[in-house]
Structure 1
Amino acid sequence: MAPVKALATVPRQRVRLEEQGVAEDRRLFLAHADDSVATLRHHPELTRVVPDLDLPERKLRVTLPDGTTATSSLDSTGRRLESRIFGKDRSGHVLDGPVADALSHHVGRSLRVVLAEGGGIGWDEGPVSLLGTASVADVLPPEVPGVGRFRMLVELGDTEPYEEDTWVGRRVRLGGALVRVTHSLKRCVVMNHSPVSGARDRNVLRGLVARRGRDLMCLGVIAEVVRPGDVALGDPVEVTSGGSE
Structure 2
Amino acid sequence: MTPAPRVVRAGFAPVKGTRHQSYDAVRLDGSGPVGDRAWCLVDVDQRRVLRTVQHPSLVAVSAVASADGLALTLPTGAAVSGPAVPSGASLTCDYWGGPVTLDLLDGPHAAVMSSYLGRPVRLAAAPRGGVVYAGAVTIVSTGTLRALAERLGLPPDARTLDGLAARFRPTFVVESDEPHVEDSWVGGEVALGPARVRVTSRVPRCAVVDVDPVTGERGGRVLAALAAYRPRHASGELLLAVDAEVVVPGTVTVAGPG
Interval of TM-score (by shorter of Structure 1 and Structure 2): 0.7 to 0.9
**How big is the alpha-carbon RMSD for the aligned residues of Structure 1 and Structure 2?**
1.9
- Structure 1 unaligned segments of length 5 or more: list them: 236-245
Q: In the alignment, which of 210, 213, 218 is matched to residue 200 of structure 1?
A: 218
Q: Is residue 49 of structure 2 the alignment partner of residue 37 of structure 1?
A: yes
Calculate the TM-score normalised by the size of structure 2: 0.84
- State percent identity of aligned pairs: 34
- Residues 146-196 of structure 1: per-residue CA shift (max 9 Å, x gap): 242111111112241111011000000001101100111011111011101
Q: Residues 95-114 of structure 1 correspond to what in structure 2 (within 5 A)?
A: 95-114=105-124
| 2:20 pairs with 1:9 | yes
**Structure 1 CA distance for aligned equivalents of residues 244 and 142 of structure 2:** 17
Tell me if the contact between 1:175 and 1:230 (Cα under 8 Å) persists in the aligned partners.
yes
Instruction: Classify 1:184/1:213 alpha carbon distance in 2 versus 1 (closer, same or farther; 3 Å).
Output: closer
Q: 1:47 aligns with which of 59, 66, 76?
A: 59
**TM-score normalised by L of structure 1:** 0.88
Match of 1:70 in 2: 80
Paired residue for 2:179? 161
The counterpart of 1:191, out of the listed 187, 209, 216, is 209
Which letter maps to 1:5? K
Given that 1:22 and 1:119 are in contact with CA atoms closer than 8 Å, whether structure 2 keeps it comes out as no
> Alignment partner for residue 90 of structure 1, among 92, 100, 106?
100
Matched residue SS, 1:146: helix
- Aligned partners of 1:84 and 1:136: how far apart in 2? 33
**Equivalent residue in structure 2 for 1:219, among 232, 236, 240:** 240
Distance 1:23 1:88, change over 3 A: farther
Q: Is the 8 A contact 2:70 2:81 kept in 1?
A: yes
C-alpha separation between the residues in 1 aligned to 2:59 and 2:77? 14
Return the alpha-carbon distance in structure 2 between the equivalents of residues 94 and 174 of structure 1.
Answer: 35
In structure 2, do the counterparts of structure 1 residues 70 and 88 end up closer, same or farther at CA, with 3 Å as the change threshold? same
Q: What residue in structure 1 maps to residue 9 of structure 2? A: none
Q: Distance in 2 between matches of 1:58 and 1:159?
A: 41
Q: 1:192 to 1:19 in 2, by over 3 A?
A: same
Query: Which residue of structure 2 aligns with residue 130 of structure 1?
Result: 139
The alpha-carbon deviation at position 213 of structure 1 amounts to 4.1
C-alpha distance in 2 between matches for 1:203 and 1:88: 31
How many aligned positions are there? 232
| Contact 2:92–2:99 (Cα < 8 Å) also in 1 | yes
CA distance in structure 2 between the aligned counterparts of 1:34 and 1:68, rounded to whole angstroms: 27
Task: Report if the CA contact (8 A) 2:147-2:179 is conserved.
Answer: yes
Q: CA deviation at 1:78?
A: 3.9
Q: Cα deviations across residues 14-50 of structure 1 (Å, max 9, x unaligned)?
A: 1110011112001111111311111112211111110
Amino acid at match of 1:66: T
21-30 vs 134-143, which deviates more? Answer: 134-143
Match of 1:26 among 32, 37, 56: 37
Which residue in the other structure is 1:243 paired with?
none
C-alpha distance in 2, partners of 1:159/1:86? 36
Give the Å deviation of 1:139: 2.3
Q: SS of 2:120's equivalent?
A: coil
SS of match in other structure, 1:196: coil
CA distance in 2, matches of 1:10, 1:4: 10
